[in-house]
Every structure is written in structure tokens, then in C-alpha cells.
Amino acid sequence: MMSENNSNIAGKVVVITGASSGLGEATARRLSAEGATVVLGARRVDRIQALADELNGGGGKALAIPTDVTHANQVKRLVDTAVQTYGRIDVMLNNAGLMPHSPLERLKIDDWNRTIDVNIKGVLYGIAAALPYMKQQKAGHIINVSSVAGHKVRPGSAVYAATKTAVLVISEGLRQEVKPYNIRTTVLSPGAVATELPNSITEPDIAENVRKLYEMAIPADSFARAVAFAMSQPDDVDINEILFRPTNQEL
């Protein structure tokens, strides 16, 4: 069903990382319904292929490409394939993320490294893959995903909050640098939204606390609507940052 707000969404080629569930999946569904072509990247090939088949079956245009965002060459292949198939890339949504909270004293070094590799390097690799095409086109929109944790640090979230703060800073640096190329930049900072993020927590007691917080979580489509809002603005309007939470989320 086409929404009345699709004036700047229909026909756009949108690449989405972390598209197999949660925010990425919800955004793929909404943008496809509004007439965008969606190119889905994630490690879980069966999930993105099933989603692409469903969207194509419903009259949309979708392509699934296995992608691990911790490998720059895989993210480049994702974007290159999108451009080879559809002729351009209009939006890069760097959405893949992990949230394995734990107190620093537990020394979960492997978790720290994975979080940095996905949440910071994965975003940089997405920018690296999309930017050359967007510069050439003199058009494009890069959308990065931070978090309320990029604005507020809490015990147990130090490394995750650091990565999401990094996304804010990278996004602002990018915003200033791409002015000559007519490229728009948006960073979204969601609060508790219903996704699989809490499942990435490896410490059972911390996972339990986060699950309690997530009882107030709002649907992933709340994020998809924010993406659609930023995308659907006229080309001379650049929505740089959206911070949102469930209405009853205090922190």
C-alpha cells in the first residue's frame, strides 16, 4: 500500500545492513511498501532471502546479499552489487548492531571487540562502500544508527555507549564533509525498540535486567517510520538527527 508520504521514497535504491531482523527488517518492509527498491545485507542468508522473496512476491523489488559488516570487502560487494543491479544507490542504512552489555570488571574482551567491529567499523565500511558512488552521482543519503546510549551512559553499557557515541561523531564529521556532493546525512538514536539486540548479551544477570527494561519496548516500525520521515523530505532538507524513545522510558 502506497502511503501519501512517499513522494521522495518511491523508486529509490536503499541498501540496508542488519536486514535479517528488528529495525532493518521493519525498515525494508516499510520502504518497500512505499515503492523503494531494497537491497538486504545480513549474515543470516535464509532470513534475508525469505524477506526478499516475500517483498518481491508482493510486487516490490528486493535483493538479498549475504554480508558480514565486519569485513570491508563484503560491505563493498553489497553496495557494488546494488549499483550493478539497479544502476545507483540512493540511501545507505548502516543498521547492523550488537549490544552485549557487561560491567567492565568482567573483562569480556571478545564482546568488546565484536561490539567495536560491528558498531563502529561496520558503519565506516558502509560509508566507504557508498560514498564513492554518491559523490559521483552528486546525490545520496547516508543513515547511521546510534542509540539513546550514545547520549547517556549507564553501568554495564560503557563499551556499547562508546560505540554509539562514535557513530554520532562519525555522522557529524561526515555531514560536514559531504556538503560539496549534495549528500544528506541522518543519525537515528532509538531507545527501547523491540529487536533481537538484548539477545546479544552474554551475561545472564545483565540480560535479565535489560529484558525488564525492554518490556516497555515499542515496535520496530517506529524506527522505520523515522527513516521514512528523514528520506521523504525534499532534497534540500537534511534531517540530521532523530532521538526517540518509548513515551514511558525515563532513562
Closest by CA to 13, choosing from 65, 63, 71, 67, is 63
Q: Quickly count: other Cβ atoms within 10 Å of residue 228's Cβ.
A: 21
Amino acid at 190: P
C-alpha to C-alpha distances, 70 to 5, 186, 219, nearest whole angstrom: 35, 22, 27
Residues 6+ apart with CB under 8 A from 108: 100, 102, 202, 203
First-to-final CA distance of the chain: 36
Active-site residue 160, yes or no? Answer: yes
CB 17 within 8 A of CB 42: yes
The single residue of 133, 160, 181, 214 carrying the catalytic annotation is: 160
Instruction: Show which residues are catalytic.
Output: 160
